[in-house]
Amino acid sequence: MSEMDTKVQGSAQPEVQEAAPSENKPKRDFTTGPLCLSGRGVTRVFGTGDKKKVAVDHVDFDFHEGEFVSIVGESGSGKTTLSKMLLGLLNVSEGEILFQGKPRDISTRAKKNEYWKGIQAIFQDPFASYNTFHKIDAVLLDCINMRGGKHLPYEKKVEMMTEACSFVNLKFAELTNKYPFELSGGQMQRLMIARIFLLKPKILLADEPTSMVDACSRATILDMLLSLRDEIGMTIIFITHDIGLAYYISDTVYIMEHGKFVEFGKADEVILNPKAPYTKRLISDVPKIHEPWDLDTVVEELA
């Protein structure tokens, strides 16, 4: 492991490094904590007859409290479909999702709202994530209200919003009375994290949150996700098509191909010692930007 760390430090993304949990915090194993989200035979089928498409095919998983899980797969492999099911935005065709060890019940709106206090999301496209008719203040105030802060004095609310914004390196004073579309993609995505900071859910589902922002914001966003986990103990389910990134930041990875998990386990075990051919192919496809810590050579070296 220590050998890996030295390799990682040679990365082309130095900012990300500071966020690496291995740097300044004592290592904790998050992969054995209490269960917070599990799935048994979770399946989703779209359409019928000729158009039938099994997007997610009998997947099993166990996510633990405080765990940083990555779900890795190419586009079209069913990652977003799975995440929508985990969020309760899409019905499960077959199988069962367990929340904190008990079967999840989201049959009524009240139960759904209760569930959504525990699980929140950041989506891929920041430009599509905001209601462009609402100001930034409204977005953040909504989160405070949702956490039962509706009756707090306005000054207190401003204080909370300022804190949330400074957590993601934004200045609330500069954002107030602005519309989300007046920000850059990276700033918008950071504001999404500020929203999560206010909501403090148990689980955060981040569906490719960095794939549509600039490289610089990407590093900061990953940094913030890691500190959400480290400071609040949030479980982070990070969905990505970039196995290099997954290896770098996660405790556990699940490799998804055609709606199935072909391989899963601790990040370094899976990536340094891939068994499934699909995983091997993903590793060999890691783009040139990761050259300094080219995983292929790492794998060869270790072999």
Ligand X SMILES: Nc1ncnc2c1ncn2[C@@H]1O[C@H](COP(=O)(O)OP(=O)(O)O)[C@@H](O)[C@H]1O
Binding site for ligand X (CB under 6 A): 46-47, 53, 55, 73, 75-81
User: Long-range contacts for 188-191 (Cβ within 8 Å, ≥24 apart)?
Assistant: 188/126, 188/127, 188/129, 188/130, 189/122, 189/126, 189/213, 189/217, 189/221, 190/217, 190/220, 190/221, 190/224, 191/136, 191/139, 191/165
Site pattern 123..142 for other proteins (x: CB under 8 A):
xxx--xxxxxxx-------x
CB of 181 to ligand X, least distance (A): 25
CB of 37 to ligand X, least distance (A): 18
The reply to whether 210 sits near Mg ion by the rule CB under 5 A is no
Contact 3, 22 (CB under 8 A): no
Other beta carbons less than 10 A from residue 135's beta carbon: 17
- Pick from 223, 171, 163: which is nearest to 197 by CA? 163
Instruction: Kindly determine how many residues on this chain lie close enough to bind other proteins according to the rule CB under 8 A.
Output: 22
Residue list 51-90, contact with Mg ion (CB under 5 A): 80
Give which of other proteins, ligand X, Mg ion, none residue 77 binds (C-beta under 5 to 8 Å, depending on kind): ligand X
Give which of other proteins, Mg ion, ligand X, none residue 78 binds (C-beta under 5 to 8 Å, depending on kind): ligand X
Choice between 130 and 264, CB closer to other proteins: 130
**Chain Cα centroid distance, residue 272:** 22
Report how far residue 7's alpha carbon sits from residue 220's, in angstroms, rounded to the nearest whole number. 21
CB of 217 to other proteins, least distance (A): 18
Q: By the criterion CB under 8 A, which residues form the site for other proteins?
A: 84, 87, 89, 109, 112-113, 116, 120-121, 123-125, 128-134, 142-143, 146
Q: By the criterion CB under 5 A, which residues form the site for Mg ion?
A: 80
